[in-house]
């Protein structure tokens, strides 16, 4: 997958039209754009766009992919900006940490605020698990981070930005599947799949 695939997909999704995206945003031909989108869908393995009489709409998979495509392009732009800034010595660096997966919701607004309020800063982005981010904050490697509240921390101030619901996926025939809510204690003896070795602890 190449960056141009993501840029082309985002352009079509935002304009709602292959022709408008090709002519006004990408300055390419519509057949070429269609081929690029077809290549992207083939590589991803799912249909991302639906052609309709009045334009193009996103599939359910396309809506999810759009958020991540925008984030990927934003991170590339941020990396390019950081590289350019490296040629200008003396500019202070501000490191923002994100709990893996939370960048989609918080990174665009974070960068907007920092660029408006402190344009003199060079912003660097770090994505890690919550315990790793807490450790980096305590060691002074990160200036601010979006993470979960960690217990074993010293000298850190936490501010709640948004609640995070705890969700469990169960087989349909599981003994707990019929309940709308489940107490965490009910899962103590269950075998579960963790997304990472350093999974956060929920008390």
| pLDDT exceeds cutoff 80 at 86 | no
Where exactly are the structural domains of the chain?
A: 3-66
40-74 as b/e, with b when 16 or more CB fall inside 10 Å?
A: bbeeeeeebbeeeeeebebeeebeebbeebbbbeb
* Interaxial angle between packed helices 3-15 and 30-44, expressed in degrees from 0 to 180 and rounded to the nearest 10: 110
pTM score > 0.75 for this model? no
96: pLDDT confidence band, cut at 50, 70 and 90? Answer: very high
Rg for the chain (alpha carbons), in Å? Answer: 21
At the second CATH level, the architecture of 3-66 is: Orthogonal Bundle (1.10)
How are beta strands 49-52 and 55-58 bridged, if at all?
Answer: antiparallel
User: Mean pLDDT, to the nearest integer, of 108-112?
Assistant: 89
| pLDDT exceeds cutoff 90 at 180 | no
Better-scored residue on pLDDT, 96 or 16: 96
pLDDT at 146: 92
User: Mean pLDDT, to the nearest integer, of 34-63?
Assistant: 88
pLDDT at 17: 85
pLDDT at 194: 61
| pLDDT exceeds cutoff 60 at 203 | no
pLDDT at 202: 52
């Amino acid at each position: 997958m190449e960056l141009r695939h993501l840029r082309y997909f985002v352009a079509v999704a935002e304009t709602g039209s292959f022709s408008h995206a090709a002519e006004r945003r990408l300055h390419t031909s519509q057949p070429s754009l269609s081929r690029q989108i077809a290549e992207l869908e083939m590589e991803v393995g799912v249909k991302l766009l639906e052609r309709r009489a009045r334009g193009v709409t996103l599939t359910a998979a396309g809506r999810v992919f759009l958020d991540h495509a925008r984030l990927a392009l934003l991170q590339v732009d941020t990396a390019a900006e950081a590289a350019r800034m490296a040629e200008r010595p003396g500019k202070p660096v501000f490191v923002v940490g994100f709990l893996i997966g939370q960048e989609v919701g918080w990174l665009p607004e974070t960068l907007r605020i920092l660029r408006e309020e402190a344009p003199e800063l060079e912003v660097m982005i770090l994505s890690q698990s919550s315990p790793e981010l807490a450790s980096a904050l305590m060691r002074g490697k990160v200036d601010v981070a979006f993470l979960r509240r960690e217990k074993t921390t010293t000298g850190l101030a936490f501010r709640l930005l948004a609640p995070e619901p705890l969700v469990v996926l169960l087989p349909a025939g599981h003994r707990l599947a019929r309940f709308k809510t489940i107490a965490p204690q009910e899962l103590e003896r269950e075998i579960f799949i963790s997304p990472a070795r350093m999974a956060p602890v929920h008390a």
